[in-house]
Structure 1
Amino acid sequence: MQTPETNLILIVDDTPTNLEVLSEALTDAGFEVAVATSGESAIEQIEYDPPDLILLDIMMPGIDGFETCYRLKQNPQTKDIPVIFMTALSDTVDKVKGLSLGAVDYITKPFQQAEVLARVQIHVNLRNLNLALAEKNLRLEQEITERAIAEAALQQLTQDLEQRVLERTQKLADALCTLEKAQVQMVQSEKLATLGQLVAGIAHEINNPVNFIHANLYYVSRYTQNLLELLKLYQNQLPNATPEIQAKAEDIDLQYLLEDLPKILSSMEIGTKRICEIIKSLRSFSRHDEAEVKVVDVHEGIESTLMILKRHLEAKPGQPKIQVFKEYGNLPKVECYPGKMNQVFMNVLSNAIDALTEAMDNYPSYVPSPMIRITTEVRESDRIVIKIADNGLGIPENIQKRIFDPFFTTKPAGKGTGLGMSISHQIITELHYGSLQCISQPGKGAEFIVEIPICDCEQCDFVRSAKKGAIATAMCK
């Protein structure tokens, strides 16, 4: 059993190397360490020697980490022990699943020693703080019972108790708020990095062979035309072909071949040109090589996003095509994070498409033709405004108030994590010192308004005022 001054950390992992590395790092940091190689053995070990914190691997033989965590949280004796998942999975859904089962955090493999120690220390401190608070509350209740005769002393003690509870509750709330914000930012960074790498990788791999085909189609077309012309000369010079040649010409339908072959080559050229345009849009959307602030054309980002979402805008059985109307103003190039701005466009446009699709699927009374209108303009010469509006059923007022809250979603389980609009709000307000707001009335659709400064210089009045507003908002939170 561990001493009161030493915190016991249980590491559950079926990989000896991970156990050795983590055990050494935690021991050097002053923790007492226990290990288990499976979920079953971990549960048995915890019953007779409960640890202060559990580092739990997800992928294990027997019962996996998710099931192990579920069983621990169902047991009243072990439900309050904090669990940190260790995983090589990068899917946001898996991480959200772990948090929903009761885990307090997760660590991504391969391990970063400093990160592991920092996260373990934070949650051990929170655990100790909770235990200390419970112990202090118990002692205070005993004192109140013993001093019940002295009314004045009882009132003073009650006030002391309330003050202590408020202070500790505020500390816990601040710590949890900081942790939640860090988790959201981490999910955002991993999601954007994964998406950018995926799109950029696909575009790069496809680009070279498609360019090769597209470039050579020009010569294939010329060579084919030359051969067809030569064939026509043979037909003119030798009109009386042999029976064998006539039979072959009829067998392959030579006349149709002569007419259709140039058309096929033309169609192939159009198709490869279209693929080249799609690749260009993918690379423009991902902006994988532009993680820093760049001067870009916002309209290009909107167009590349629409290109990627084109399939979702097309007509479906029983549903008309979603029309997109663009009213672009004469915008200057803007200093921004291009990839992250494109992610905002993707989130807002995807939500608009989902809202219109839901209206057409579930509400027979929905009459208007589905439509998305995109408007851009310069406002007061120092900032731009992008408005994205749909003519769906609108957003109820009670939902509008929470639309930018982390993990809030109205979509069914498995179709949304509730992070898209929260991340978009952070990108616009914290990275670009702009604003993102939603205006909607039931039955009249919804409109999202993005406003960002044209430049990110400190001399810009809009940036200075926006930064002050961001600081004030952070202080209020």
Structure 2
Amino acid sequence: MVAALFILTITLPRENLIILIWDIILLAFIVASFRIFNLAHVRQVLYAILPMVMVSFLVSLSQVIWADYYLTIEDYSDYFYTAAFTWMIALLILSNKQKKALLKDRQHQEEEAARIRMDAELKAKLEALVQERTLELTQQKEELQEALSALKQTQSQLIQKEKMASLGELTAGIAHEIQNPLNFVNNFSEVNEELILEMVKELLSGKTKEVMNVIEDIKANNLKIHHHGKRADAIVKNMLQHSRASAGKKELADLNALVDEYLRLSYHGLRAKDKAFNVALITNFDPGVGRINIIQQDIGRVLLNIFNNAFYAVNEKKKRQIIGYEPTVSVCTKRLTDKVEIRVKDNGVGVPENVMGKIFQPFYTTKPTGEGTGLGLSLSYDIVTKKHSGELIVETREGEFAEFIIHLPVGVN
């Protein structure tokens, strides 16, 4: 609007009074605009126009009031207008630049504000996502802890089942070992009863010589009863000794006797379950092995597991009805430089090559479901390697043989 008024000033006829009045109106309008408009760019435009209006006002005023004075400055009025016009153009250019700068700054501020809003929104989303993931991880942790507890409980139950299975097989073998001497005791006791009755008859008949012969027979039978009773007692005491050694304490033990004993217990335990089971046993015990520090019950469990696996392997191969096949299990001990060696070899089905890497893993078994827990060899491996600092090695050829080799250090406490 100010620009329009200024244009009118230029285009109107330049009658001095009219121009003066018009300049006064423009000045009044500019002053009023300063009070009304607080925007910086509007004030900048007013500052640009003000010198031109002031020059026009002063020239018009001098024409009306000081005509003589005007004649002296008339030649310079064009310079005043040029200077005012130059000022106006320069200030308008500066105002335009400032306006652009302000616009750019405002855009920058708006962009910054938008970025801050986006950052805030992103932060809020991330916090929500973190809380959500934290909740999920907490739930997963709780589920995993529950699963781990259940797994540990199941593992304990399976280990106990494996121990009970070994105990059952051991008990069957012990029962067979005790049954033999008890049969002798019962048989000779019955014979002695008959001899006593015969002796009474001979006494009544007065046949002293025959009575003495019967007495000698009774004495001989009593010696046999005593011998087999001692044998049964020794078996029981030996088992009790192994039971006392179960606390994890190592004691000096005759390794050859232990191997032989558990070989017989395993064999007779399987025979008690399957009367048709039969196998050729070959033993070769090195007397130089002597006594070594071991946990007897633990090594006994290892031997029982390995013997049972050997008997199972030859029995499975026998079921294939191979002509000329004779189930054989050989057991030998040997004293090496700083350790003793136990080798248990069978000519059974062997171990498949793809199973060799898993054979000592817990719960892995090649037996049908219900016939094995998969813990026997795993527990045996831990007993030999961790509790006795030894080695448990397997050599095999599928369909031909499997040989388990145990190395136990000598003199390790």
Q: What is the TM-score when the length of structure 1 is the normalising length?
A: 0.45
Equivalent residue number for residue 388 of structure 1: 344
C-alpha separation in 2, matches of 1:454 and 1:411: 34
Matched residue type, 1:407: F
Q: Which has the higher helix share?
A: 2
Q: Does 1:371 align with 2:328?
A: yes
Matched residue type, 1:456: V
C-alpha separation in 2, matches of 1:269 and 1:325: 31
Q: Does 1:131 align with 2:136?
A: yes
After superposition, the Cα gap between the structure-2 partners of 1:348 and 1:194, relative to the gap in structure 1 and judged at 3 Å, is closer
Tell me by how many angstroms 1:235 deviates: 2.4
- Matched-pair identity in %: 23
Matched residue type, 2:302: V
C-alpha separation in 1, matches of 2:160 and 2:250: 16
Equivalent residue number for residue 309 of structure 2: 351
Tell me by how many angstroms 1:295 deviates: 1.2
C-alpha separation in 1, matches of 2:240 and 2:355: 35
Equivalent residue number for residue 253 of structure 2: 296
Equivalent residue number for residue 450 of structure 1: 406
**Mapped contact 1:296–1:334 kept (Cα < 8 A):** yes
What runs of 5+ residues in structure 1 fail to find an aligned partner?
1-127, 136-167, 239-256, 458-477
SS in 2 for 1:388: strand
Q: Does 1:434 align with 2:371?
A: no
C-alpha separation in 1, matches of 2:281 and 2:170: 24
C-alpha separation in 2, matches of 1:345 and 1:445: 18
Deviation per CA, 1:156-199: give whole Å up to 9, x if none: xxxxxxxxxxxx9xxx8xx9999979975886478659977998
SS in 1 for 2:358: coil
C-alpha separation in 1, matches of 2:371 and 2:192: 50
Q: Does 1:311 align with 2:287?
A: no
Tell me by how many angstroms 1:321 deviates: 2.0
**Mapped contact 2:169–2:269 kept (Cα < 8 A):** no
**Mapped contact 2:305–2:377 kept (Cα < 8 A):** yes
**Mapped contact 2:302–2:383 kept (Cα < 8 A):** yes
After superposition, the Cα gap between the structure-2 partners of 1:275 and 1:447, relative to the gap in structure 1 and judged at 3 Å, is same
After superposition, the Cα gap between the structure-2 partners of 1:365 and 1:230, relative to the gap in structure 1 and judged at 3 Å, is closer
**Mapped contact 1:341–1:427 kept (Cα < 8 A):** yes
After superposition, the Cα gap between the structure-2 partners of 1:232 and 1:304, relative to the gap in structure 1 and judged at 3 Å, is same
C-alpha separation in 2, matches of 1:228 and 1:262: 14
C-alpha separation in 2, matches of 1:129 and 1:357: 56
Tell me by how many angstroms 1:378 deviates: 1.2
**Mapped contact 1:291–1:337 kept (Cα < 8 A):** yes
After superposition, the Cα gap between the structure-2 partners of 1:197 and 1:387, relative to the gap in structure 1 and judged at 3 Å, is closer
Structure of larger gyration radius? 2
Equivalent residue number for residue 402 of structure 1: 358
C-alpha separation in 1, matches of 2:282 and 2:405: 16
After superposition, the Cα gap between the structure-2 partners of 1:410 and 1:228, relative to the gap in structure 1 and judged at 3 Å, is same
After superposition, the Cα gap between the structure-2 partners of 1:402 and 1:194, relative to the gap in structure 1 and judged at 3 Å, is closer
After superposition, the Cα gap between the structure-2 partners of 1:366 and 1:285, relative to the gap in structure 1 and judged at 3 Å, is farther
Deviation per CA, 1:243-273: give whole Å up to 9, x if none: xxxxxxxxxxxxxx99x99999788667645
Equivalent residue number for residue 378 of structure 2: 422
C-alpha separation in 2, matches of 1:318 and 1:334: 36
Structure number with the bigger relative contact order (C-alpha 8 A, sep ≥ 6) is 2
After superposition, the Cα gap between the structure-2 partners of 1:304 and 1:321, relative to the gap in structure 1 and judged at 3 Å, is same
Q: Does 1:327 align with 2:284?
A: yes
Matched residue type, 2:253: V
C-alpha separation in 2, matches of 1:374 and 1:278: 21
C-alpha separation in 2, matches of 1:192 and 1:287: 16
Which residues of 2 match residues 32-181 of structure 1 at below 5 A?
131-132=136-137
Deviates more, 1:175-184 or 1:435-444: 175-184
**Mapped contact 1:335–1:454 kept (Cα < 8 A):** yes
Matched residue type, 2:328: M
Matched residue type, 1:232: E
After superposition, the Cα gap between the structure-2 partners of 1:318 and 1:332, relative to the gap in structure 1 and judged at 3 Å, is closer
Tell me by how many angstroms 1:228 deviates: 3.7
C-alpha separation in 2, matches of 1:364 and 1:270: 42
After superposition, the Cα gap between the structure-2 partners of 1:299 and 1:285, relative to the gap in structure 1 and judged at 3 Å, is farther
Q: Does 1:234 align with 2:234?
A: no
After superposition, the Cα gap between the structure-2 partners of 1:391 and 1:237, relative to the gap in structure 1 and judged at 3 Å, is closer
C-alpha separation in 1, matches of 2:385 and 2:394: 14
What runs of 5+ residues in structure 2 fail to find an aligned partner?
1-132, 209-213
C-alpha separation in 1, matches of 2:138 and 2:247: 48
Tell me by how many angstroms 1:305 deviates: 1.3
C-alpha separation in 2, matches of 1:131 and 1:262: 84
